[in-house]
A and B are shown apart, each in its own frame.
Chain A
């Protein structure tokens, strides 16, 4: 038997080991290729109101994706190299030079690589259509997704993976160069001997780690009051360093307290969970920190973009009271005729308004949060007879058109007085209700809230009002409401270059939904790519650990501990191993989102819990797969 046939035989015998690696590769190719295909799909660009929105989003997304994929593949390769360590050492032992081994590695990898690339591109092509349909749904576009295979996209993918291939070969080369023969033969054994007792340092640093995270969380709740850059950095520093210390020391410290309390009287469940995690988590501290911090970031971004997406309807309602609004009365007349010509039933709305400065206990403006922009608070007042659905008594006032952004710097207190001031005249009313939907367009109210008062009150206010020419405050707003449903067709019909300017609610809504939908899709895609890769990494780690612990399982089985008893212990181990990084990631992202979500939308729970729920489910799946792998190892270790 010559050398080549030995190598070939070895390759096929090892194919089981390679599956993991091939899976990682195929998976990465699928992710990248489907993403590139989507970004090149014309059908999306055509439908968009703003087409460069698409390319910017996808470029940012693909950069992140490349970083994730490169890290993931290199990590998988590293695990794989370590597992093949003994075999590589054996090659050296029978007299192969490192150069020759390196050549073998290149050859093997090239074969695996090309195969994975082809399979990945095939699967990526299948996945891309599904993804595109999801994207369209999020953007509320109603066209069916096509199937366009792009050779350029395939080439781009091929190029990226050629680059990664070069990186991996460099990694393999360094690995071979660094390890001496003797180390190679003993590398797998070294992990057994580093079980030492925990010193006092562990206790101190363990407590410190938890304290740092807690204080980071505490500071994050005050971010609105001290939103300076150094403040932000200290929060980041505290939580990230705290996370590292937690994995490195706190977990071991807490488990050790539990263990000490048992004073040696531990059962087989403890053996497989408690004592094993104590050591493993410590040595994986850096990896776990990375995973939970990036998980937190991606969960945070996904939550925030989902919050924005979720609140699009509401935020448009808070600024646009009518289907179409106009600056001038003539414009309104122009479009009214145009619509009538096209047999579209509609209604013109003219709303008179006056502006008063508002003060009083009911209105608390946070001047710091608004950066001192709002020194006085101008309130546009409308009479109840000019708007539908409001019922206001004498001496009362309703404030409406309060968006979530307004809420971040103005606080309204119900049943407190509001004093309206214009020159010498003042009038005090009681605030009885605060609503979200606008009654005046934003070019009239400047995005500020508006007030509704009783018609008698309005007349008095109007009488005493001293109209200020300099301010040129509009006295009326002009709008059109379409009878029945407005549609993009009507908007497109109205929007001719020669026609006067106007604002359309449906157009604003569509633009925002498309933009937010795109953003959400891309953060979602990148976020889940990260989640899946980090889940895979944790799974690969578990495979490695199960190999390390095989000896223990053997001893326990021989001593008569049943498979079931051992699986119970390993279940606890999986819950803790996957649960702690997940829990920390969830907490981090909760506090991050909580610190600033109100700038993005008006509803936090549904979007955030949806994202978190998806994360929890996917992590559970990885925990379950790992457990099944352990089950197999335990079964075989007798």
Chain B
């Protein structure tokens, strides 16, 4: 078990005007899993991802990552933990515009005491895997959206983190770039046995993962496992659950 979350609650606002976004979520993630979080807009997906990834703090509950309870850590320790052990992808404003592709990707390694040659080797491996090696000295504004997201995927993988958190990584991409990115994520997940948790509202995107968790009103509504199903069958199952949930597949 790489991540165990128990009774996660998160609310915003003051005593007078309080919104309970997460109302008691229990979630376990196994090493090497590729897991998707789905739900209608405003259902608390990003909030869940943020608290699990220590970007935000829970109101109550415990999150244990590899035996360490991160809800007790200080801000500085949390930052260190993120820097060393987690990888991130966001929907937009992911890359730093003043850095080249290579510099963006290598950023998480800058804190490690690694030999330059080793860093180069690692970079080449990951960048080639994600098809960004050829654009390594370009600036983000000079490459396509798909290339940008693959660059941020490379940055998320480069330091071999314990878990990679991705918030709607395909949200701003066309379907072709999206599927290419997702296929890469899937490959890296199975090849390097890395753990990925991805938030999405897109059933197709979710069908690339091994388990889908549906959120509704701050609680887990249901869980689907791919198991031995084909991706197509899994996609259909996801669509069914989604329509039962009420959110039709067209929300954004």
Contacts and interface: CB of A to CB of B under 8 A. Distances in A.
A558 interface: yes
Given A196-B142, A559-B83, A267 B76 contact: no
Nearest to B82: A560
B40 to A, nearest CB: 24
B11 interface: no
Given A555-B90, A558-B90, A195 B106 contact: no
Contact of B96 (A263, A267, A271, A562): A271
Interface in A473-529: none
B90 A195 contact: no
Interface of B: 55, 76, 78-84, 86, 88, 90, 93-100, 102-103, 106-111, 116, 119, 123, 136-142
A563 to B, nearest CB: 8
For the complex of A and B, 10 pairs with smallest distance between CB atoms: A560-B82, A560-B83, A267-B110, A264-B102, A275-B98, A551-B93, A193-B141, A195-B139, A562-B79, A560-B79
11 contacts: A193-B97, A195-B97, A195-B141, A264-B102, A264-B136, A265-B110, A271-B99, A275-B96, A555-B95, A558-B88, A559-B83
B98 A279 contact: yes
B142 to A, nearest CB: 7
Given A196-B142, A266-B110, A552 B97 contact: yes
A278 B103 CA distance: 15
Nearest to B96: A552
Nearest to B50: A558
Given A192-B97, A196-B142, A197-B137, A560 B80 contact: yes
A551 B92 CA distance: 10
Nearest to A277: B98
B81 to A, nearest CB: 7
Nearest to A268: B110
A342 interface: no
A194 B137 CA distance: 15
Contacts of B116: 263, 265
A271 B98 contact: yes
A165 to B, nearest CB: 38
A480 to B, nearest CB: 75
A276 interface: yes
Nearest to B141: A193
Contact of B107 (A192, A263, A559): A559
A560 B100 contact: no
B106 A558 contact: no
A561 interface: yes
Contacts of B99: 266, 271, 275
Given A197-B139, A560-B81, A562-B79, A555 B94 contact: yes
A554 interface: yes
Nearest to A562: B79
A557 B88 CA distance: 11
Contact of A562 (B80, B97, B119, B136): B80
Contacts of B142: 196
B106 A265 contact: yes
Contacts of A266: 99, 103, 106-107, 110
A264 to B, nearest CB: 4
A194 B141 CA distance: 8
Contacts of B86: 560
Question: Quick one: which of B82, B90, B138 has the most chain A CB within 10 A?
Answer: B82
A121 to B, nearest CB: 43
Contacts of B119: 265
Interface string A522-566: 000000000000000000000000000001101111111110000
B250 to A, nearest CB: 26
Interface in A254-273: 263-268, 271
Nearest to A259: B103
A278 B97 CA distance: 12
Contacts of B139: 195-197
Given A552-B96, A555-B90, 13 more contacts: A195-B98, A265-B110, A265-B119, A268-B110, A271-B98, A271-B107, A552-B97, A555-B94, A555-B95, A558-B55, A558-B82, A559-B107, A560-B79
A384 B73 CA distance: 88
B158 to A, nearest CB: 11
Contact of B103 (A196, A264, A554): A264
B110 A559 contact: no
A635 to B, nearest CB: 11
B152 to A, nearest CB: 9
Contacts of A271: 96, 98-99, 103, 107
Interface in A84-124: none
Contacts of B96: 271, 275, 552, 555-556
